[in-house]
Amino acid sequence: MSGNLIASTARKARKLTEEEVHEIEHEMELYPDKKAVGLEALKIVQKHQGWVSDESMQAISKFLEIPVSDLESVATFFNLVYRQPVGENVILFCNSVSCWVMGCESIKSHINEKLGIDFGQTSEDGKFTFLPVPCLGDCDKAPVMMVGDDLHRNLTHDKIDELILTYRKSKQVE
Amino acid sequence: MAKVVIDGVEYEVNPDNNLLQECLSNGLDLPYFCWHPCMGSVGACRQCAVKQYRDSEDTNGNIVMACMTPAADGAIISINDDQAKDMRERVIESLMISHPHDCPVCEEGGECHLQDMTLMSGHNYRRYDKKKVTHRNQYLGPFINHEMNRCITCYRCVRYYDDYAGGTDLAAQASHHHTYFGRYEEGVLESEFSGNLVEVCPTGVFTDKAFSEHYSRKWDLQTAPSICAGCGTGCNITPGERYGTLRRVVNRYNSEINGYFICDRGRFGFDYVNSPERIRLSPEISDDVEKKLEQFKTDDAIGIGSPRASNESNFALRELVGEDRFFSGLSDSDHEAVQLTLALGQDAAFRSPSVKEIELADAVIIIGEDVTNTSPRVALALRQSVRNYAMDLAKQSQIPAWQDAAVRELAQHDRSPLAILTPYTTRLDDIASEIVLGPPSQLIEVAGAVAKAISENAPTISSGDDRVAQIAKYLAEAKRPLIVSGCSAGRIDFIKVAANLARALSEQRQEVIDLCLTAPEANTLGMSMLTNEENTLGAALDKIRRGEARKVIVLENDLYRRAPHPDVTDALEKADSLLVLDQLPTKTTEKATLLLPATSFSEHEATYVNYEGRAQVSFQVHQNNSGALPSWRWLSKDRKENISSLTERLVKCSCSFEGIKTLRPEIHVAVSGMQIPRQSHRYSGRTAMRANLNVHEPKQPVDEESVLSFSMEGIPPGKDATILGAPWSPSWNSNQSISKFQEEVNGDLKQGNTGQLLLDRDKSDTYLEIKLDVPKADGGLEVALVHQIFGSGELSAKSKALQKRMVDPYIGLSKADAESLGLSQGDSVSIDGNGNVAAVVVRTKMKVGTAALYCGENDIDHHALGETVHLQKVASSHHRGLGNLIVSDLYEEGY
Amino acid sequence: MIVNPLTKNIDMTRPPLEISGYESNDGYQSIKNIAKGMTSTDVLQKTKDSGLKGRGGAGFPTGLKWSFVPQGEDSPKQKYFVVNADEMEPGTFKDRLLMEGDPHLLIEGIIIGSFAIQADTAYIFLRGEYKVAERALRKAIDEARERGFLGKNILDTGFNLDIIVHTSAGRYICGEETALLNALEGKRANPRSKPPFPQVSGLWGKPTIVNNVETICNLPGIFTYGIDWYQSLTKGKDHGTKLFGISGKVKNPGCWELPLGITIRELLEDYGGGMQEGLDLRGFLPGGGSTDFMLPEHLDLKFDYDDIAQAGSRLATGTMILLDNETCPVGMIGNLMRFFSHESCGFCTPCRDGLPWVVAIFDEFCKGQGTRKDLEILHEHVEYMGPGRTFCALAPGATAPLGSGLRYFAEDFEKLIKE
Ligand SMILES: Cc1cc2nc3c(=O)[nH]c(=O)nc-3n(C[C@H](O)[C@H](O)[C@H](O)COP(=O)(O)O)c2cc1C
Ligand code: SF4
Ligand code: FES
């Protein structure tokens, strides 16, 4: 029988990994409501997959019985849920006021030049995605940025050159 | 009552309301967007800004949002304050910074709430000269157009679609000034009530796609107050006509029934009226039609009525053939069920709740009726009823009911109880507290046991289901319990057991109980009131077969939908002459010896009786130009008969139609003899619209029978909403103008007419006997009929838009049954080997032993089937496929 | 006498104290004191009496806030205590210090607050980027649970409490307490209307208290060393100490715990070391990005809720951002506007559609392409997006630097107008 006799979007769901399921089930113990776990599940999937694909979204929707529209609604609201693939290293670059006063614009241009990418873009080698982030709460050490989980402070052009070199070489943790 | 001062004038207000509601209820103009009378306040748009003063000493005041401020006693506010006015102008200005200003090509133009509010708040010049935000639009299916660039981010669409109507596939996405309202991905909007988005959206983001294909401005549409012919709920609608074709249907406010919302069958299922297949008066017969008709006006004719034809037409047929020779146009099982419904409708122990009253229930049980697909508007009301728990909770916490988001957050998922007894999952399952799934016979058992648990006097029925006690408890303890059932499943026992349950409650509580029995078609009850109990269709067919009736008149009815096909064919072929009156060709019209075209619902003035026994009048919107007449006119003995004299006789016919006497306003009520125009005062092109045919401007047609005229001249209904087609009021071109015609917003219409309840509740009765004969274990599956909102309505299924949402006949099976029969998803099966073919749908939640059968547009002769069926796999054949099927428990493997 | 109760254990050159070290420095003493027989009403009263005001921005008296939680037989049994650790206010970096430096202090405070309102579940709503804080908190919670300060029947009081760390997915608006609740429920972080206040209907519709990290960190001291001690800490009208910070072009930017009521000049000169060589102070935002500019002439005012308010600004988070004479005020305000515009949740009109317009105008000004008409529009937006006009306080926060900036730096705007 032809597949399109019955429309079903659920077939686009991928299978959640055992680890993902385990972690999502853990979250279910912490919140009295599934909807809260929906956002947690998005973060869990992103932690393991790097980003949240349509297939992942469908999988979470199926697993938690939350409409996929509701998931999309929150996924697109939050800054740190990625609905597009990102590079191995996500640079979260603070461009809020203290960093701006301390010259983050020039650091930013330097990164633009070195990596050939602007905010929202991923470098051709897939190593870096460059994103702006609101004040990182480290303003006395401005300008600052995060790469993955690590915070880098008092940035200078030289420091950026160094960091790029290190992260180019390093393997992604997962 | 409380008193508030608005711009120096004191008003009496209801302190449970907010200030915006009260301003509008008192006739004041105050712009708003995100507030909606049915959906309360959320304070998003900031458009309803007013100045509030602490006390009479306070001269500075503060800007507050009227919709978020209680109309508390002593409140002093100003709408006209300069700062408040400035604020409102600023809000419009910023809403408009990215708006495309495409009014000339926008379907909303001329009835756009955004246009109205823009004018009202005084913004008229775009100072914004920077880059606009633009969006990509989505394909949302055959009903709704999407134009996100017009969005003003009032959040009404998602609040309506998700929160009010329970939809799950439309949501707000992204944020800040990129906020987007759409589906997760392109595709058909799944809710059966998606069409209301067209009216809920204050601008042109969601527009009526079918209307767009033959668009006309609101003011160019000829309109009249009408009643939806889609099902037996009787929603009030306003159809609009232009150039001889019906263009669209919109909601028409009726405080007792549909309020602000109708379903998608009602909105998009009308365009069979424009069908090129409409039956016409053929030139060959037009000359001697009178003579041919005369043949039938004799003593040996019998008549078969129609649940979709008006009271007037059914009555005219009954007069013509005589009471004893007037037969039901329903299937025999439906006839029995509806006669029982009518009897219960006269029982003093029950009340048939209006849609609005359904919303008041705080504990509900639905027995075997899939209301979303049979009486959709009732389903939407049930969705509101389960919120009564939240409303109570809010009251305890002193949160006003209009604080919409706050009330929802407080109650979270806690709802009033709703039990659904059903053979297959339904579209209300998400709000149900108990879902009892099983073959019909089991459901009857459960409902019977609940009745027994409530009253000892109820017939002894027991059930092993452990939810019985729970369901009985909450029904017994609720403030206003409600029992819902109907005949669409083809099982009269559902109605019987529903009545017993209601009676048990009535005994136990010593009060009148809400018993809602749905009716499948627009005038099911009206026709049945005119039909003697023993005059079944089966009896009529027998009479014809026995040669006791040689002349047969079939009124607007396809008998093949009502009885086993071979029986119908056999009978119709035996008759000497067969007169069929109808709008569209059917299998029955094929057999006619005389076929006469009948007008459609929008082409005549008539009355219909809905599920409650409420009679309502539906006015003629436009003329039929192909020779069709109202059936009653063809059938009248006197061809000069007018509707008033016919109505007079109907009122006197001792079939409980006294109430309709006052329904139709008579011409003499019109002001100084002037009729009420069907055309707006801006109606354009009147003198030129026929210029392509003839440059001479024809005289406007005269309507001699109605208070309405086919003209722009006359006295518009003003504040009298009895005869209100398209509401309009100065500064209020959109449908929101309705508040100008209401006693208070969301309340009764001023001098409005909500119809007349016809049935007197003066009888008392006892419990009904229920035979619990479990179907023989012959290896067959117990049939439960399934209806589809798009497809099961005979006429609406002929509409182009609805056809795009229809599916093939199918049979729903449990996984175990499918496996044991060697069937898998999408296989074709023949049912009982009688040549009827359906596609197999495997459903994860169906119980073993049930076959949920959807017959398509009468593709399956289900009257020929017994209570159980056998299936056999056959070579697959598909026409529409099942791609439009929306069920939550589809078994997915292999797809 | 302890003069720095918030930071006494903090030394950023080493990892935070483990529970044993923390306990040996009076840690969890407050819980032990309470367990000796204080009732929740006692705890509430004592908090009220201490005069502690919220450190999250609004400065609302903490005890008073708690007292709105319905107690007694017919109140909902389930109540929640929520820690606002979403710190995203531009120029604010105080809660990070507390959580990374001494997580047990926060946990101790949470136990006190939860006990006061009888909440058996507390959530720490932590901004997702604070990875170090997350690890520190999780570890500390485990330790505290092991020692019986968390879990069932804490120190035999019959009181149960669990603390759950929730990491956010990033949005400034999540710091607004009602938006925070929506985010915690997994919804879009649009704020909720007030009333009803979270104390009555908060997380999942249940009575809920939301307090800032620093507010909560004040509690252990109060319940260990007493109200008299607490009230003796200050140099001004308001009680206790406060974390003050300086960012911008000073010699020694940083964050210090100091008594409320020290002068701004003391902070700037004694702790910040004064402006960098060759630079002059032109103005400063005293308490994060959503406070009004103040000028050098205000330097001798006390850093206190009232005194700052009298100068037309707010103490708010107490972390000041400096504007020096070589930095363009228009550019600085423009940067803030871009932040607020991006972080607007998109719910209400003035904020959602007003801020992008403001940003678009700043873009023109920064290119020297300003017009007089646009300047007028900026002025209009100050009122239009102000308090009461919007659904929450985000946009009014934005109007603070905007309005004061337009006033104080008018000539800088003038200079950027294209004639
Ligand atoms: C836009 C906005 C952002 C806020 N962000 C924070 C924040 O990051 N941290 C915080 O503690 N309070 C923040 N607040 C204040 C909170 O709404 C709330 O007042 C505070 O958490 C209460 O805690 P307190 O009483 O302990 O001060 C914010 C307020 C607004 C309007
Ligand atoms: S189809 Fe039924 S529910 Fe829908 S609008 Fe028509 S009468 Fe109402
Ligand atoms: S402004 Fe960049 S870290 Fe604070």
Strand order in the sheet with B614-618: B606-609, B614-618, B756-757
pLDDT single digits (tens) B454-496: 999 999 999 999 999 999 999 999 999 999 999 998 899 999 9
Range 204-243 of C in CB contact (< 8 A) with A:
204
Give me the helices (H) in chain A, please: 18-30, 34-49, 54-64, 68-75, 97-101, 104-115, 157-169
* A33, A42, A97: residue with CB nearest C321: A97
Chains that touch B (3 or more CB pairs under 8 A): A, C
Q: Which ligand is nearest to the CA of C347?
A: 1
**How remote is the CA of residue B719 from the centroid of ligand 2, in Å?**
26
Burial B552-562 (b: 16+ CB within 10 A, else e): bbbbbbbbbbb
What is the rounded average pLDDT of the residues B256-269? 98
| Coil/strand/helix, residue A8 | coil
Cβ distance B141 to B801 under 8 Å?
A: no
What is the rounded average pLDDT of the residues B426-454? 96
Verify whether the Cβ–Cβ distance B184 to A2 is below 8 Å.
Answer: no
What is the interface pTM, i.e. ipTM, of the complex? 0.95
Check residue A1 and give its pLDDT: 35
Distance CA B522, CA B609 (A): 7
Check residue B671 and give its pLDDT: 62
Chain C residues touching residue B97 (CB < 8 angstroms): 353, 356-357
DSSP characters for B481-516? EEEEEESTTS-HHHHHHHHHHHHHHHHHHTS-EEEE
Verify whether the Cβ–Cβ distance C347 to B409 is below 8 Å.
Answer: no
| Chain B residue with the nearest C-alpha to that of A83 | B174
Verify whether the Cβ–Cβ distance C201 to B397 is below 8 Å.
Answer: yes
Distance CA B453, CA B474 (A): 12
**How remote is the CA of residue C181 from the centroid of ligand 1, in Å?**
12
**How remote is the CA of residue C176 from the centroid of ligand 1, in Å?**
5
Name the pLDDT band for B221 (thresholds 50, 70, 90).
very high
- Nearest residue to A49 (alpha-carbon basis) of A6, A26, A19, A94: A19
Verify whether the Cβ–Cβ distance B168 to A5 is below 8 Å.
Answer: no
What is the rounded average pLDDT of the residues B322-326? 96
The residue contributing the CA closest to ligand 1 atom 18 is C177
| Chain C residue with the nearest C-alpha to that of B152 | C349
Query: What residue spans define the domains of chain C?
Result: 19-231, 241-323, 329-415
Mean pLDDT by 10 residues, chain C (419 residues): 96 97 97 97 98 93 97 92 97 97 98 98 98 98 98 97 97 97 98 96 97 98 97 93 97 97 96 97 97 97 94 95 98 98 98 98 97 98 97 98 98 95
What is the rounded average pLDDT of the residues B534-547? 97
Cβ distance B235 to B354 under 8 Å?
A: no
Check residue B774 and give its pLDDT: 66
Q: What does the DSSP 8-state code read for residue B884?
A: T
Res. B716: pLDDT tops 70: yes
What is the assigned CATH class of domain B301-348+519-663+753-764? Answer: alpha beta
Pocket test for ligand 2, best of B191, B198, B235 (most atoms within 8 A of CB): B235
Residue A82 vs residues A51, A115, B662: alpha-carbon distances, Å? 5, 20, 64
| B102, amino acid identity | D
Name the pLDDT band for A2 (thresholds 50, 70, 90).
very low
| Chain B residue with the nearest C-alpha to that of C343 | B176
Name the pLDDT band for A9 (thresholds 50, 70, 90).
low
Which H or E element spans position C95?
Answer: helix C95-101
Q: What does the DSSP 8-state code read for residue C121?
A: E
In C213-318, DSSP assigns E strands to: 241-247, 254-259, 281-285
- How many C-alpha atoms does B461 have within 13 Å on its Cβ side? 29
**Ligand 1 atom nearest residue C127's Cα:** 8
What is the rounded average pLDDT of the residues A55-63? 95
- Which of A31, A70, A86, A97 would you mutate first to test chain C, the one with the most C CBs within 10 A? A97
Distance CA B481, CA B515 (A): 9
Verify whether the Cβ–Cβ distance B127 to C373 is below 8 Å.
Answer: yes
| Coil/strand/helix, residue B517 | strand
What is the rounded average pLDDT of the residues B395-419? 96
* A30, A35, A141: residue with CB nearest C187: A35
Strand order in the sheet with A121-122: A121-122, A128-133, A89-94, A145-147, A150-152
Q: What does the DSSP 8-state code read for residue B763?
A: B
> Closest Cα of chain C to B53: distance in Å?
14
Distance CA C206, CA C211 (A): 16
Q: Which CATH number applies to B781-874? A: 2.40.40.20
Range 102-121 of A in CB contact (< 8 A) with B:
none
C330-334, long-range: CB within 8 Å, 24+ apart, which pairs?
Answer: C330/C362, C330/C365, C330/C366, C330/C405, C330/C409, C330/C412, C330/C413, C330/C416, C331/A100, C331/C366, C332/A97, C332/A100, C332/A101, C332/C405, C333/C362, C333/C401, C333/C402, C333/C405, C333/C409, C334/C359, C334/C362, C334/C363, C334/C365, C334/C366
DSSP characters for B278-318? -----HHHHTTHHHHHHTTSSTTEEEE--TTS-HHHHHHHH
Verify whether the Cβ–Cβ distance A6 to B841 is below 8 Å.
Answer: yes
Residue B370 tokens read as: 């899939």
The residue contributing the CA closest to ligand 3 atom 1 is A98
- Nearest residue to B809 (alpha-carbon basis) of B850, B833, B840: B840
Name the pLDDT band for B601 (thresholds 50, 70, 90).
very high
Residue written as token pair 């495409």 = B102
Burial B318-350 (b: 16+ CB within 10 A, else e): bbbbeeebbbbbbbbbbbbbbbbbbebbbbebb
pLDDT single digits (tens) B640-698: 888 999 999 999 998 899 999 989 886 666 666 788 999 999 999 888 888 888 888 88
Chain C residues touching residue B64 (CB < 8 angstroms): 388
Distance CA B460, CA B841 (A): 36
Range 132-161 of A in CB contact (< 8 A) with B:
none
Check residue B894 and give its pLDDT: 45
Strand order in the sheet with B9-13: B9-13, B2-6, B76-78, B49-53, B62-65
Distance CA B203, CA B154 (A): 10
Residues in chain A: 174
Check residue A174 and give its pLDDT: 41
Pocket test for ligand 1, best of C67, C89, C219 (most atoms within 8 A of CB): C89
Q: Which residues contact C234 (CB under 8 A, 6 or more apart)?
A: C240, C241, C259, C260, C261
Check residue B751 and give its pLDDT: 80
Distance CA C162, CA C141 (A): 9
Pocket test for ligand 1, best of C176, C222, C399 (most atoms within 8 A of CB): C176
Verify whether the Cβ–Cβ distance C391 to B176 is below 8 Å.
Answer: no
Torsions phi, psi of C45, nearest 5? -65, -40
Verify whether the Cβ–Cβ distance B170 to A10 is below 8 Å.
Answer: no
Check residue A97 and give its pLDDT: 98
- Nearest residue to B678 (alpha-carbon basis) of B641, B637, B707: B707
- Nearest residue to C234 (alpha-carbon basis) of C321, C315, C114, C320: C315
Distance CA B780, CA B777 (A): 7
| Chain A residue with the nearest C-alpha to that of B430 | A65
Both ends of chain A: CA-CA distance in Å?
Answer: 41
> Closest Cα of chain B to C236: distance in Å?
32
Distance CA A97, CA C336 (A): 6
Res. A170: pLDDT tops 80: no
Distance CA A47, CA A34 (A): 19
Which H or E element spans position C402?
Answer: helix C394-408
Pocket test for ligand 3, best of A91, A92, A93, A94 (most atoms within 8 A of CB): A94
Res. B895: pLDDT tops 50: no
- Nearest residue to B183 (alpha-carbon basis) of B131, B235, B139: B139
Distance CA B539, CA B563 (A): 11
* C189, C255, C332: residue with CB nearest A140: C255
Which CATH architecture does the domain made up of B350-511 adopt? 3-Layer(aba) Sandwich (3.40)
Distance CA B326, CA B314 (A): 9
pLDDT single digits (tens) B841-855: 999 999 999 999 999
> Closest Cα of chain B to A168: distance in Å?
32
Verify whether the Cβ–Cβ distance C169 to A81 is below 8 Å.
Answer: yes
- CATH for C19-231, among 3.20.20.10, 3.30.1330.10, 3.20.20.70, 3.40.50.11540? 3.40.50.11540
* B42, B130, B405: residue with CB nearest C357: B130
Cβ distance B83 to B31 under 8 Å?
A: no
Instruction: Kindly give the pairing relationship between strand C80-85 and strand C208-212.
Output: parallel
Range 318-337 of C in CB contact (< 8 A) with A:
319, 321-324, 327, 331-332, 335-336
Distance CA A23, CA B278 (A): 62
Check residue C285 and give its pLDDT: 98
Q: Which residues contact C178 (CB under 8 A, 6 or more apart)?
A: C191, C192, C193, C194, C198, C392
Is the peptide bond preceding residue C76 cis, with omega within 30 degrees of 0? no
Check residue B418 and give its pLDDT: 98
Distance CA B403, CA B83 (A): 25
**Ligand 3 atom nearest residue A143's Cα:** 2
Strand order in the sheet with B868-869: B868-869, B781-786, B850-854, B810-814, B837-843, B828-831, B871-874
Cβ distance A56 to A14 under 8 Å?
A: yes
Question: Percentage of residues in chain A with pLDDT exceeding 70?
Answer: 91
pLDDT single digits (tens) B736-745: 999 999 999 9
Res. A3: pLDDT tops 50: no
Distance CA C16, CA C10 (A): 7
Spell out the domains of chain A, with CATH numbers in brackets: 3-77 (no CATH), 89-169 (3.40.30.10)
* B42, B95, B411: residue with CB nearest C349: B95
| Chain A residue with the nearest C-alpha to that of C167 | A40
Distance CA C95, CA C243 (A): 9
Which range, of A8-12, B427-431, C298-302, averages the lowest pLDDT? Answer: A8-12
> Closest Cα of chain C to A6: distance in Å?
31
Distance CA A54, CA A46 (A): 12
Query: What residue spans define the domains of chain B?
Result: 2-95, 301-348+519-663+753-764, 350-511, 781-874
Instruction: Kindly give the pairing relationship between strand B513-518 and strand B481-486.
Output: parallel
- Which of C93, C325, C343 would you mutate first to test chain A, the one with the most A CBs within 10 A? C93
Torsion of CA B289, B294, B295, B300, to 10 degrees: 140
A38 touches chain C (CB under 8 A): yes
Residue B181 tokens read as: 């309202």
Distance CA B43, CA C193 (A): 8
Check residue C280 and give its pLDDT: 97
| Chain C residue with the nearest C-alpha to that of B411 | C205
Q: Provide the mean pLDDT of chain B.
A: 94
**Ligand 1 atom nearest residue C59's Cα:** 27
Distance CA C1, CA B563 (A): 97
Check residue A5 and give its pLDDT: 64
Fold match flag (C241-323 vs C329-415): no
| Coil/strand/helix, residue A76 | coil
Chain B residues touching residue A72 (CB < 8 angstroms): 171, 173, 184
| Chain C residue with the nearest C-alpha to that of B176 | C346
For residue B842, what are the β-bridge partners? Answer: B813
Cβ distance B419 to B501 under 8 Å?
A: no
Question: Percentage of residues in chain B with pLDDT exceeding 70?
Answer: 98
> What is C241-323's CATH topology?
Ubiquitin-like (UB roll) (3.10.20)
> What is B2-95's CATH topology?
Ubiquitin-like (UB roll) (3.10.20)
- CATH for C329-415, among 1.10.357.10, 3.30.2270.10, 1.20.1440.230, 3.30.43.10? 1.20.1440.230
